[in-house]
Chains A and B, each alone.
Chain A
Protein backbone atom coordinates (compact mmCIF):
# COMPACT_ATOMS: atom_id res chain seq x y z
CA UNK A 1 0.00 0.00 0.00
CA UNK A 2 1.41 3.36 -0.99
CA UNK A 3 1.45 5.99 1.77
CA UNK A 4 -0.03 3.42 4.17
CA UNK A 5 1.07 5.32 7.28
CA UNK A 6 -0.64 8.54 6.19
CA UNK A 7 -3.84 6.78 5.18
CA UNK A 8 -4.14 4.86 8.44
CA UNK A 9 -3.36 7.98 10.50
CA UNK A 10 -5.97 9.88 8.49
CA UNK A 11 -8.52 7.15 9.02
CA UNK A 12 -7.93 7.15 12.77
CA UNK A 13 -8.38 10.93 12.94
CA UNK A 14 -11.51 10.69 10.79
CA UNK A 15 -13.09 8.01 12.98
CA UNK A 16 -12.15 9.91 16.13
CA UNK A 17 -13.90 13.03 14.81
CA UNK A 18 -17.01 11.22 13.58
CA UNK A 19 -17.52 9.31 16.82
CA UNK A 20 -16.77 12.43 18.94
CA UNK A 21 -20.45 13.00 19.97
CA UNK A 22 -20.79 9.40 21.09
CA UNK A 23 -17.75 9.02 23.33
CA UNK A 24 -18.08 12.48 24.89
CA UNK A 25 -21.65 11.66 25.98
CA UNK A 26 -21.02 8.12 27.24
CA UNK A 27 -22.25 7.73 30.79
CA UNK A 28 -24.08 11.06 30.84
CA UNK A 29 -27.80 10.98 31.46
CA UNK A 30 -30.15 13.76 30.49
CA UNK A 31 -33.53 13.88 32.13
CA UNK A 32 -36.11 13.26 29.49
CA UNK A 33 -38.98 15.71 29.68
CA UNK A 34 -42.55 14.50 29.76
CA UNK A 35 -43.97 13.32 26.48
CA UNK A 36 -45.78 16.35 25.03
CA UNK A 37 -48.35 14.19 23.29
CA UNK A 38 -49.34 12.60 26.61
CA UNK A 39 -50.61 15.92 27.97
CA UNK A 40 -54.14 16.31 29.34
CA UNK A 41 -56.95 17.56 27.14
CA UNK A 42 -57.66 20.47 29.48
CA UNK A 43 -57.87 23.77 27.61
CA UNK A 44 -55.14 26.37 27.84
CA UNK A 45 -55.24 30.09 26.99
CA UNK A 46 -56.36 30.46 23.38
CA UNK A 47 -58.80 27.55 23.80
CA UNK A 48 -56.12 25.07 22.76
CA UNK A 49 -55.69 21.74 24.57
CA UNK A 50 -52.51 21.64 26.65
CA UNK A 51 -51.12 18.82 24.50
CA UNK A 52 -51.51 20.88 21.36
CA UNK A 53 -50.05 23.90 23.14
CA UNK A 54 -46.93 21.89 24.00
CA UNK A 55 -46.51 20.46 20.54
CA UNK A 56 -47.39 23.57 18.53
CA UNK A 57 -46.64 26.50 20.83
CA UNK A 58 -44.26 27.98 18.28
CA UNK A 59 -47.02 28.24 15.69
CA UNK A 60 -49.44 29.67 18.23
CA UNK A 61 -46.86 32.21 19.40
CA UNK A 62 -46.20 33.14 15.80
CA UNK A 63 -49.91 33.75 15.24
CA UNK A 64 -50.21 35.80 18.42
CA UNK A 65 -47.17 37.82 17.46
CA UNK A 66 -48.78 38.84 14.19
CA UNK A 67 -52.02 39.68 15.95
CA UNK A 68 -50.22 41.88 18.49
CA UNK A 69 -47.69 43.58 16.23
CA UNK A 70 -49.70 43.80 13.03
CA UNK A 71 -53.30 43.70 14.22
CA UNK A 72 -52.90 45.68 17.44
CA UNK A 73 -54.86 43.04 19.36
CA UNK A 74 -52.88 42.59 22.56
CA UNK A 75 -55.25 40.67 24.85
CA UNK A 76 -56.93 37.31 24.60
CA UNK A 77 -59.94 36.21 26.60
CA UNK A 78 -59.97 32.80 28.22
CA UNK A 79 -62.26 31.37 30.86
CA UNK A 80 -63.64 34.80 31.73
CA UNK A 81 -60.19 36.36 32.26
CA UNK A 82 -58.08 38.54 30.00
CA UNK A 83 -54.51 37.56 29.25
CA UNK A 84 -51.80 39.50 27.51
CA UNK A 85 -50.50 37.80 24.36
CA UNK A 86 -46.90 38.35 25.33
CA UNK A 87 -43.98 36.11 26.25
CA UNK A 88 -42.70 38.39 29.00
CA UNK A 89 -45.99 39.60 30.43
CA UNK A 90 -48.12 36.61 29.47
CA UNK A 91 -46.38 33.22 29.38
CA UNK A 92 -43.68 34.05 31.89
CA UNK A 93 -46.18 35.53 34.35
CA UNK A 94 -47.16 31.94 35.22
CA UNK A 95 -44.39 29.74 33.81
CA UNK A 96 -40.72 29.91 34.62
CA UNK A 97 -38.40 30.20 31.69
CA UNK A 98 -35.65 27.93 33.01
CA UNK A 99 -37.99 25.22 34.25
CA UNK A 100 -40.81 25.40 31.79
CA UNK A 101 -39.27 26.43 28.48
CA UNK A 102 -35.72 25.34 29.21
CA UNK A 103 -36.51 21.72 30.05
CA UNK A 104 -37.54 20.68 26.56
CA UNK A 105 -35.39 23.17 24.69
CA UNK A 106 -32.26 21.95 26.44
CA UNK A 107 -33.17 18.32 25.91
CA UNK A 108 -33.81 18.85 22.21
CA UNK A 109 -30.79 21.12 21.83
CA UNK A 110 -32.91 24.01 20.62
CA UNK A 111 -31.81 27.56 21.25
CA UNK A 112 -34.69 29.77 20.07
CA UNK A 113 -33.80 33.43 19.60
CA UNK A 114 -36.94 34.62 21.40
CA UNK A 115 -34.68 35.28 24.37
CA UNK A 116 -32.49 37.72 22.47
CA UNK A 117 -35.21 40.27 23.15
CA UNK A 118 -37.83 38.74 25.45
CA UNK A 119 -36.90 37.28 28.78
CA UNK A 120 -37.86 37.20 32.39
CA UNK A 121 -36.10 38.80 35.30
CA UNK A 122 -35.17 35.41 36.72
CA UNK A 123 -32.37 35.24 34.20
CA UNK A 124 -30.67 37.96 36.17
CA UNK A 125 -29.77 40.03 33.16
CA UNK A 126 -29.25 43.74 33.69
Chain B
Protein backbone atom coordinates (compact mmCIF):
# COMPACT_ATOMS: atom_id res chain seq x y z
CA UNK B 1 0.00 0.00 0.00
CA UNK B 2 1.32 3.41 -0.91
CA UNK B 3 0.73 6.19 1.53
CA UNK B 4 1.12 9.85 0.66
CA UNK B 5 2.20 12.61 2.98
CA UNK B 6 -1.33 13.97 3.41
CA UNK B 7 -2.81 10.59 4.44
CA UNK B 8 0.08 9.93 6.83
CA UNK B 9 -0.46 13.23 8.63
CA UNK B 10 -4.20 12.53 8.95
CA UNK B 11 -3.59 9.09 10.48
CA UNK B 12 -0.92 10.41 12.82
CA UNK B 13 -3.29 13.11 14.02
CA UNK B 14 -6.08 10.62 14.77
CA UNK B 15 -3.67 8.34 16.66
CA UNK B 16 -2.48 11.28 18.74
CA UNK B 17 -6.02 12.23 19.73
CA UNK B 18 -6.82 8.62 20.62
CA UNK B 19 -3.75 8.30 22.86
CA UNK B 20 -4.53 11.60 24.53
CA UNK B 21 -8.08 10.49 25.40
CA UNK B 22 -6.85 7.20 26.89
CA UNK B 23 -4.30 9.01 29.04
CA UNK B 24 -6.96 11.46 30.25
CA UNK B 25 -9.15 8.52 31.26
CA UNK B 26 -6.36 6.90 33.27
CA UNK B 27 -5.66 10.14 35.15
CA UNK B 28 -9.36 10.59 35.87
CA UNK B 29 -9.46 7.14 37.54
CA UNK B 30 -6.39 7.98 39.59
CA UNK B 31 -7.83 11.28 40.73
CA UNK B 32 -11.03 9.55 41.84
CA UNK B 33 -9.13 6.89 43.73
CA UNK B 34 -7.13 9.43 45.72
CA UNK B 35 -10.10 11.49 46.86
CA UNK B 36 -11.13 9.55 49.95
CA UNK B 37 -14.58 10.51 51.10
CA UNK B 38 -16.55 10.57 47.87
CA UNK B 39 -15.60 7.02 47.06
CA UNK B 40 -17.22 4.87 49.73
CA UNK B 41 -18.35 1.38 48.75
CA UNK B 42 -21.96 1.07 47.67
CA UNK B 43 -22.08 -2.74 47.86
CA UNK B 44 -25.10 -4.24 49.61
CA UNK B 45 -22.92 -5.68 52.36
CA UNK B 46 -19.77 -4.25 53.88
CA UNK B 47 -18.90 -6.06 57.07
CA UNK B 48 -17.46 -3.90 59.80
CA UNK B 49 -16.67 -3.84 63.49
CA UNK B 50 -17.14 -1.22 66.18
CA UNK B 51 -14.99 -1.37 69.30
CA UNK B 52 -16.60 0.38 72.24
CA UNK B 53 -13.78 1.27 74.60
CA UNK B 54 -16.19 2.25 77.37
CA UNK B 55 -16.99 -1.41 77.80
CA UNK B 56 -13.37 -2.50 78.07
CA UNK B 57 -12.18 -1.77 81.59
CA UNK B 58 -10.10 -4.54 83.14
CA UNK B 59 -7.08 -6.35 81.75
CA UNK B 60 -9.28 -9.44 81.64
CA UNK B 61 -11.74 -7.74 79.28
CA UNK B 62 -8.92 -7.23 76.82
CA UNK B 63 -7.26 -10.59 77.25
CA UNK B 64 -10.48 -12.55 76.84
CA UNK B 65 -10.96 -11.16 73.33
CA UNK B 66 -7.44 -12.04 72.20
CA UNK B 67 -7.54 -15.48 73.81
CA UNK B 68 -10.81 -16.38 72.09
CA UNK B 69 -9.29 -15.65 68.69
CA UNK B 70 -5.97 -17.37 69.39
CA UNK B 71 -7.69 -20.51 70.58
CA UNK B 72 -10.07 -20.86 67.65
CA UNK B 73 -7.54 -20.14 64.94
CA UNK B 74 -4.61 -22.15 66.30
CA UNK B 75 -2.39 -19.10 66.67
CA UNK B 76 1.04 -19.92 68.12
CA UNK B 77 2.36 -18.11 71.13
CA UNK B 78 5.62 -16.21 70.80
CA UNK B 79 8.38 -18.66 70.16
CA UNK B 80 10.21 -18.96 73.49
CA UNK B 81 13.79 -19.66 72.45
CA UNK B 82 13.71 -16.81 69.95
CA UNK B 83 11.88 -14.16 71.94
CA UNK B 84 11.88 -12.21 68.74
CA UNK B 85 8.95 -9.89 68.12
CA UNK B 86 9.27 -10.62 64.40
CA UNK B 87 8.14 -14.18 65.10
CA UNK B 88 4.93 -13.04 66.74
CA UNK B 89 1.70 -14.12 65.04
CA UNK B 90 -1.23 -11.87 65.80
CA UNK B 91 -4.74 -11.59 64.42
CA UNK B 92 -6.12 -9.37 67.15
CA UNK B 93 -3.88 -7.78 69.75
CA UNK B 94 -3.84 -4.94 72.26
CA UNK B 95 -1.62 -1.93 71.84
CA UNK B 96 -1.18 1.59 73.18
CA UNK B 97 -2.86 4.80 72.06
CA UNK B 98 0.35 6.02 70.44
CA UNK B 99 0.69 2.89 68.35
CA UNK B 100 -2.99 2.70 67.46
CA UNK B 101 -3.46 6.34 66.47
CA UNK B 102 -0.06 7.84 65.61
CA UNK B 103 -1.84 10.35 63.37
CA UNK B 104 -3.93 11.89 66.16
CA UNK B 105 -2.95 15.55 66.43
CA UNK B 106 -5.20 16.33 69.39
CA UNK B 107 -2.88 16.29 72.40
CA UNK B 108 -5.78 17.30 74.66
CA UNK B 109 -7.52 13.96 74.40
CA UNK B 110 -8.36 12.90 77.97
CA UNK B 111 -5.22 11.61 79.64
CA UNK B 112 -7.00 8.51 80.93
CA UNK B 113 -8.07 7.71 77.39
CA UNK B 114 -4.50 7.96 76.17
CA UNK B 115 -3.50 5.46 78.85
CA UNK B 116 -5.94 2.86 77.58
CA UNK B 117 -5.14 -0.15 75.47
CA UNK B 118 -6.83 -0.65 72.11
CA UNK B 119 -7.77 -3.98 70.54
CA UNK B 120 -6.27 -3.84 67.05
CA UNK B 121 -7.02 -6.14 64.15
CA UNK B 122 -7.17 -6.19 60.36
CA UNK B 123 -9.27 -3.22 59.28
CA UNK B 124 -10.75 -5.04 56.28
CA UNK B 125 -10.27 -1.83 54.34
CA UNK B 126 -12.66 -0.87 51.59
CA UNK B 127 -9.58 0.03 49.53
CA UNK B 128 -7.12 -2.58 50.78
CA UNK B 129 -3.50 -1.83 49.84
CA UNK B 130 -2.49 -5.43 50.61
CA UNK B 131 -4.78 -6.68 47.84
CA UNK B 132 -3.28 -4.24 45.36
CA UNK B 133 0.27 -5.42 45.92
CA UNK B 134 -0.26 -9.18 46.14
CA UNK B 135 1.50 -10.64 43.09
CA UNK B 136 -0.38 -13.96 43.19
CA UNK B 137 -3.84 -12.65 44.11
CA UNK B 138 -3.65 -14.77 47.24
CA UNK B 139 -5.20 -11.86 49.12
CA UNK B 140 -8.47 -10.64 47.73
CA UNK B 141 -11.56 -8.71 48.75
CA UNK B 142 -14.79 -10.66 49.02
CA UNK B 143 -18.06 -9.08 47.84
CA UNK B 144 -19.11 -8.71 51.48
CA UNK B 145 -16.03 -6.59 52.22
CA UNK B 146 -13.90 -9.17 54.02
CA UNK B 147 -10.26 -9.06 52.96
CA UNK B 148 -9.57 -12.76 52.70
CA UNK B 149 -6.35 -14.63 52.23
CA UNK B 150 -5.90 -17.88 50.33
CA UNK B 151 -3.06 -19.61 52.20
CA UNK B 152 -2.74 -22.14 49.39
CA UNK B 153 -1.67 -19.45 46.98
CA UNK B 154 0.52 -17.35 49.27
CA UNK B 155 4.17 -17.47 48.23
CA UNK B 156 5.38 -15.61 51.31
CA UNK B 157 6.78 -12.58 49.49
CA UNK B 158 5.51 -10.28 52.29
CA UNK B 159 4.60 -7.43 49.94
CA UNK B 160 1.26 -7.25 51.77
CA UNK B 161 3.03 -6.80 55.09
CA UNK B 162 4.94 -3.88 53.68
CA UNK B 163 1.74 -2.43 52.20
CA UNK B 164 -0.48 -2.77 55.29
CA UNK B 165 -0.33 0.48 57.28
CA UNK B 166 -1.79 -1.20 60.36
CA UNK B 167 0.72 -4.01 60.97
CA UNK B 168 -2.15 -6.48 60.78
CA UNK B 169 -0.24 -9.18 59.00
CA UNK B 170 2.19 -11.71 60.41
CA UNK B 171 4.65 -13.99 58.70
CA UNK B 172 5.38 -17.58 59.68
CA UNK B 173 9.15 -17.60 59.87
CA UNK B 174 9.06 -21.05 61.46
CA UNK B 175 6.63 -23.95 61.54
CA UNK B 176 3.99 -22.72 64.00
CA UNK B 177 2.75 -26.15 65.09
CA UNK B 178 5.09 -26.81 68.02
CA UNK B 179 4.06 -23.47 69.55
CA UNK B 180 0.29 -23.90 69.47
CA UNK B 181 -0.80 -24.42 73.05
CA UNK B 182 -4.42 -25.35 72.75
CA UNK B 183 -5.21 -26.99 69.46
CA UNK B 184 -8.62 -26.59 67.78
CA UNK B 185 -9.14 -29.66 65.58
CA UNK B 186 -11.74 -27.95 63.42
CA UNK B 187 -9.42 -25.27 62.06
CA UNK B 188 -6.21 -25.77 60.08
CA UNK B 189 -2.85 -24.49 61.22
CA UNK B 190 -0.59 -22.54 58.91
CA UNK B 191 2.66 -23.68 57.42
CA UNK B 192 6.07 -22.06 57.40
CA UNK B 193 6.41 -19.31 54.81
CA UNK B 194 2.89 -17.89 54.58
CA UNK B 195 1.44 -14.62 55.78
CA UNK B 196 -1.69 -14.68 57.90
CA UNK B 197 -4.17 -12.25 59.42
CA UNK B 198 -7.67 -11.79 60.80
CA UNK B 199 -10.44 -13.12 58.55
CA UNK B 200 -13.40 -11.64 60.47
CA UNK B 201 -14.03 -15.34 61.24
CA UNK B 202 -15.45 -15.98 57.79
CA UNK B 203 -15.77 -19.69 58.68
CA UNK B 204 -17.97 -18.83 61.67
CA UNK B 205 -20.07 -16.30 59.76
CA UNK B 206 -21.06 -19.03 57.32
CA UNK B 207 -22.47 -21.03 60.22
CA UNK B 208 -24.46 -17.99 61.33
CA UNK B 209 -22.16 -17.28 64.27
CA UNK B 210 -20.54 -14.00 65.29
CA UNK B 211 -16.76 -13.56 65.08
CA UNK B 212 -15.00 -15.14 68.04
CA UNK B 213 -13.73 -11.84 69.45
CA UNK B 214 -17.19 -10.26 69.25
CA UNK B 215 -18.73 -13.20 71.03
CA UNK B 216 -16.13 -13.11 73.82
CA UNK B 217 -16.27 -9.35 74.30
CA UNK B 218 -19.51 -9.06 76.31
CA UNK B 219 -20.82 -6.40 73.97
CA UNK B 220 -17.69 -4.28 73.69
CA UNK B 221 -17.23 -5.35 70.07
CA UNK B 222 -20.12 -5.11 67.63
CA UNK B 223 -20.09 -6.70 64.23
CA UNK B 224 -22.43 -5.99 61.32
CA UNK B 225 -23.16 -4.57 57.91
CA UNK B 226 -21.89 -1.03 57.57
CA UNK B 227 -23.94 -0.39 54.45
CA UNK B 228 -27.24 -1.18 56.16
CA UNK B 229 -28.50 1.98 57.88
CA UNK B 230 -30.50 -0.12 60.36
CA UNK B 231 -27.63 -2.35 61.46
CA UNK B 232 -26.22 -2.31 65.00
CA UNK B 233 -22.89 -0.95 63.87
CA UNK B 234 -24.51 1.98 62.08
CA UNK B 235 -26.73 2.75 65.07
CA UNK B 236 -23.69 2.94 67.35
CA UNK B 237 -21.75 5.07 64.89
CA UNK B 238 -24.70 7.40 64.44
CA UNK B 239 -24.98 8.22 68.14
CA UNK B 240 -21.31 8.14 69.21
CA UNK B 241 -18.10 9.86 68.21
CA UNK B 242 -15.71 7.32 66.74
CA UNK B 243 -12.17 7.13 65.42
CA UNK B 244 -10.71 5.11 62.56
CA UNK B 245 -7.04 4.19 62.34
CA UNK B 246 -5.08 6.36 59.87
CA UNK B 247 -8.11 7.34 57.77
CA UNK B 248 -6.01 9.94 55.93
CA UNK B 249 -4.33 7.15 53.96
CA UNK B 250 -7.55 6.57 52.03
CA UNK B 251 -7.78 2.86 52.83
CA UNK B 252 -11.26 3.32 54.33
CA UNK B 253 -10.89 1.03 57.31
CA UNK B 254 -13.96 -0.93 58.44
CA UNK B 255 -13.00 -1.02 62.13
CA UNK B 256 -14.21 1.88 64.26
CA UNK B 257 -13.29 2.88 67.81
CA UNK B 258 -15.92 4.53 69.97
CA UNK B 259 -14.19 6.64 72.57
CA UNK B 260 -15.80 7.79 75.75
CA UNK B 261 -15.18 10.81 77.94
CA UNK B 262 -13.13 10.99 81.12
CA UNK B 263 -15.80 9.15 83.11
CA UNK B 264 -15.39 6.00 81.05
CA UNK B 265 -11.66 5.95 80.57
CA UNK B 266 -10.78 3.40 83.21
Contacts and interface: CB of A to CB of B under 8 A. Distances in A.
Interface residues of A, number: 15
Tell me if B's interface is mostly helix, strand, loop or mixed.
Answer: loop
B152 A74 contact: no
Given A72-B202, A72-B206, A116-B191, A125 B177 contact: yes
Nearest to B207: A74
A89 B186 contact: yes
Nearest to B178: A126
Contact of A120 (B151, B185, B190): B185
A11 B191 CA distance: 43
Nearest to A126: B183
A16 to B, nearest CB: 36
A53 B142 CA distance: 30
Interface string A114-126: 0011101100011
A88 to B, nearest CB: 6
Given A70-B140, A117-B189, A126-B177, A65 B152 contact: yes
B125 to A, nearest CB: 19
Contact of B188 (A72, A88, A113, A126): A88
Contacts of A117: 151, 188-191
Interface in A75-115: 88-89, 113
B64 to A, nearest CB: 23
Nearest to B191: A116
A92 to B, nearest CB: 9
B95 interface: no
B72 interface: no
Contacts of B177: 125-126
Contact of A74 (B150, B187, B206): B206
Contact of A72 (B142, B152, B192): B142
A120 B191 CA distance: 15
Nearest to B186: A89
B188 A70 contact: no
Nearest to B192: A116
15 contacts: A69-B150, A74-B203, A74-B206, A88-B186, A88-B188, A89-B186, A113-B191, A116-B191, A116-B192, A117-B189, A117-B191, A120-B185, A121-B185, A126-B178, A126-B183
Given A70-B140, A117-B189, 20 more contacts: A65-B152, A69-B148, A69-B150, A69-B152, A72-B206, A74-B206, A88-B185, A88-B186, A88-B187, A88-B188, A113-B191, A116-B191, A117-B188, A117-B190, A118-B188, A121-B185, A125-B177, A125-B183, A126-B177, A126-B183
